[in-house]
Amino acid sequence: MIKLAMAGVYVDDVARAHAFYTDVLGFETRTHVDMGGGAPFVTVGAAGAQADMELLLEPGDSPIADPYRKALREAGIPSVVFSVDDVAAEHARLTGLGVAFTQEPQRQGQVLMAVLDDTVGNLVQLMQQVD
């Protein structure tokens, strides 16, 4: 069996991304390794869950990553999608913390979704399965 172990998201600043993804979104740090002079190697994951799945916060200033991220953002396409139990509650919590949303919660078929700005160059979609 093959399982997804790690996915990456390119960010403007790894330290700022780490703070946002842990302090604001509520992820926990899984790995934080100083790489000697450059950005640290940082992964985060769902707090207390999915121990075998991590999100790598990758420096996004490479000649490949930078245009890719900018094109996604300009097209309004999220770089990553996270599932939540209650989109409305997360929207209210995050709005209260000053997070900017580019798309308010709305239903699309069997999914409630909202899109936020992660402050480090990406749009992030929150989604909730509904009946």
* Res 36: pLDDT: 81
Domain ranges of the chain: 6-129
For the whole model, what pTM was predicted? 0.93
Distance of CA 81 to the CA centre of its chain: 7
DSSP codes joined into one string, 9-55:
EEES-HHHHHHIIIIIT--EEEEEE--SSS--EEEEE-TTS-TT-EE
- The fraction of the chain above a pLDDT of 70, given in percent, is 100
Residues 96-128 pLDDT 10s: 999 999 999 999 999 999 999 999 999 999 999
- Return the CATH number of 6-129, one of 3.10.180.10, 3.30.40.230, 3.40.605.10, 3.50.50.60: 3.10.180.10
